Structure 1
Amino acid sequence: MTSTLNDRYRDYRVRRWLAQEQRTATMLLSWRTPPRRRILVIAVTFALTVMAVAGVLSALDLRTAATVATLVAVVVFLPGWTVLRIVSGSVDSAPEQALDETRLVERDRARSTGLAITQSLTMAPLAYLIFAGTFAPDADAYRTAYAGGLMMLATILAGGCAPAMIMAWKRPSTPA
């Protein structure tokens, strides 16, 4: 029986994910409790909300406030998201061969919810970009594009982070 390129890649992904899981299994053990994971989910949600607000502030030409809000969002998001991924075991991105049936169903539900979140939240910045271009063609193109891009980035990140956030929130405890 010969293996296809797809089979070899799938095996490689499983090996890579298991190696990463083994590397991070003993990291941040005190943060693997449900209350602490929920704190991280709230921090990431806060950062993404602040990023979207920074886009709105930019659209309103409040540059200093938008810059400060963006910096706060990045400073909270990057470590919060990194720690959340470590303590939740990155199950949201695990290959299906590495998960048991229960975790696979949880992961797929969370991914489906993440897609729905992405599709629904992205409509607001998309509408802003369309209507700003249609009804205010003389507006500052740079500001309009930057504001819309920042709002769009926040919504796409929210949808992309949602599966891990949902799973981290719902899991009763992560085995050490």
Structure 2
Amino acid sequence: MAETTIIERYQARRTRRFLAHSEKWGRMLPGWRSRRRRRALVLALGATFVFMLGVGVLCHFFDRAPILWLPACLLFFPIWTSLQIVSGRLGDAPTTTLDEWEVQQQNAARSAGLTITQFLVMIPVFYLIVGSVLADGDGARIAYAGGLLTLTTLMIGGCSPAMILAWTRPDPDPEDHAEEAA
């Protein structure tokens, strides 16, 4: 028997966990698996990110603005969880569970997600650099606002592969649902 590396053991464990979660969650929200509904979830998630960015900007100007982060999170988590369920978590699925076409789509979406992340994170980084130079006693506000903006842009980049795949994938094959129901 060949000795496995820690990476191979990790990938095997990750695959087992993914398949177990797919079995558990794969039948939930069947009415939301259409392209139209997935796109509605992507748009809702996008609106949530705009709200989060707005909270980050407001934190620069108002002391009580961070309170708005709680409603933003209360919006984000159920929408993100629903999107992950209805899209089958293809954005972060182990490649051993995907066919060649799905691997190509996943790689393209991940590449776009990395580009989005790199571009968007530069905005709060420049804000923090310039703001720290120009700050005149407002360092705490700048740090908090910059932190929320950075966190939000990282979340956008991290969620974008799943959002891209949910937006672009065709409707599920009706025959697949007929087999599951039988």
Same fold (TM over 0.5): yes
Deviation readout 1:11-52 (Å, 9 max, x if unpaired): 221111111111111100001111111111011111111111
Rounded Cα–Cα distance in structure 2 between residues aligned with 1:105 and 1:3: 30
Matched, 1:124 2:123: yes
Rounded to whole Å, the distance in 2 between the matches of 1:91 and 1:54 is 30
Q: Structure 2: how far apart are the matches of 1:45 and 1:54? A: 14
Amino acid at match of 1:171: R
Deviation at 1:90?
A: 0.5
Whether the 8 Å CA contact 1:50–1:72 is kept in 2: the answer is no
Paired letter, 1:123: M
RMSD: 1.4
TM-score (norm 1): 0.92
Q: How far does residue 55 in structure 1 lie from its aligned partner after superposition?
A: 0.8
Deviations 1:39-91 (A, max 9, x none): 110111111111111111111x22345533x2332121110001000111101
152, 155, 158: which one aligns with 2:153: 155
Cα separation, 1, equivalents of 2:58 and 2:2: 57
Q: Map Cα deviations across residues 112-149 of structure 1 (whole Å, 9 max, x no partner).
A: 0000000001111101100011122x232221111000
8 A contact 1:115–1:159 mirrored in 2: yes
Quote the residue 1:107 is aligned against: 106
State whether structure 2 residue 20 is matched by structure 1 residue 19. Answer: yes
Structure 1, unpaired ranges of 5+: none
Where does residue 7 of structure 1 map in the other structure? 8
**Following superposition of structure 1 onto structure 2, how do residues 1-176 of structure 1 map, counting pairs within 5 Å?**
1-5=1-5, 6-59=7-60, 61-65=61-65, 67-68=67-68, 70-136=69-135, 138-174=136-172, 175-176=176-177
Unaligned runs of 5+ in 2: 178-182
Percent of counterpart pairs with the same letter? 45
